[in-house]
Amino acid sequence: MVQNKPLLSLKEVVAYVNPNTPAQTALLNQLNLEIFEGDFITVIGPNGAGKSTLFNTIAGSIPVGSGQLLHHGRNIAKENVVKRSQFISRVFQDPKMGTAPRMTVAENLNLAAKRGDSRTLKLRGLKKKRQLFKKLTASMNNGLADKLDVATENLSGGQRQALSFLMAIIKRPELLLLDEHTAALDPKTSAQLMEQTNRNITEQKLTCLMITHRMDDALKYGNRLVVLDKGKITFDVSGEQKKKLTKEDLLALFSEIE
Ligand SMILES: Nc1ncnc2c1ncn2[C@@H]1O[C@H](COP(=O)(O)OP(=O)(O)OP(=O)(O)O)[C@@H](O)[C@H]1O
């Protein structure tokens, strides 16, 4: 099989907190990672390993201290969050973070659909958009479709996270970052959203990195799994090898780490 060029490469990336002060600490430690188009990578690692820092560094909310962040071979390390949001979208753990609480489900989806467009929405497009929003929300299979005109502050956590997920993918991002997006939900709701997440990612062939503490999810979903520890990728497995990986293998890796 011909290996494509990576969509995103991190080369020897170091990210600091409190840069240029006596308290400067490296959170990413010369980290190397290549992400290929169509990769669905589950990211696991102990608390404090640097998983969210990795996402912050890719998205641009933490600066690249040294090393390179290459998007199709071009170094984007100096580009800001807004610029990078043209190709990256992200869903966070906290259901309150992804949506505007006073706005309705349809208004939130509309905002997400218009992101990056300079033109304002034409009125005659509204009916079509509503049909699209109805279809998208119905596909999440959790009652969201009946709440298009409800303010998102009145949704359940699961519905809010499903909406955040739809908003993140509505414009087909080149790279989707899921930061424990089901962790705040009860097990049944989390499993339901994970199924819908997986369906969308695989059907639409999205490229995705997903942080999770749920070993079962890390094993079940995605074509690739990486372990992050002390700011470095310490394990990277894909394809058939990933399919063969067991929970025991992962737990053994973790006991080596801790
Ligand atoms: N702004 C900051 N200032 C100081 N230390 C920080 C800051 N942000 C993160 N850290 C520290 O950096 C390390 C990595 O944090 P990070 O949140 O990336 O880890 P994580 O792997 O996502 O952890 P968790 O699984 O607990 O979410 C931790 O030790 C954390 O306390």
Q: Give ipTM to 2 decimals.
A: 0.93
Compute, in angstroms, the gap from residue 27 CA to the centroid of ligand 1. Answer: 7
In this structure, the dihedral spanned by the alpha carbons of residues 39, 42, 43 and 45, taken in order and rounded to 10 degrees, is -150
| Pocket of ligand 1 contains residue 20 by CB under 6 Å | no
**How far is the first Cα of the chain from the last one, in angstroms, to the nearest whole number?**
37
| Pocket of ligand 1 contains residue 227 by CB under 6 Å | no
Are 157 and 185 in contact by the 8 Å Cβ rule? The answer is yes
| Pocket of ligand 1 contains residue 194 by CB under 6 Å | no
Which domains are seen in the chain, by residue range?
1-80+212-257 (3.40.50.300)
Q: Whose CA is nearest to atom 31 of ligand 1?
A: 48
Are 64 and 128 in contact by the 8 Å Cβ rule? The answer is no
Give the pLDDT of the chain (258 residues) as one tens digit per residue: 445 799 999 999 999 988 889 999 999 999 999 999 999 999 999 999 999 999 999 999 999 999 999 999 999 999 999 999 999 999 999 888 878 889 999 999 998 988 766 555 554 567 788 999 999 999 999 999 999 999 999 999 999 999 999 999 999 999 999 999 999 999 999 999 999 999 999 999 999 999 999 999 999 999 999 999 999 999 999 999 999 999 999 888 877 765
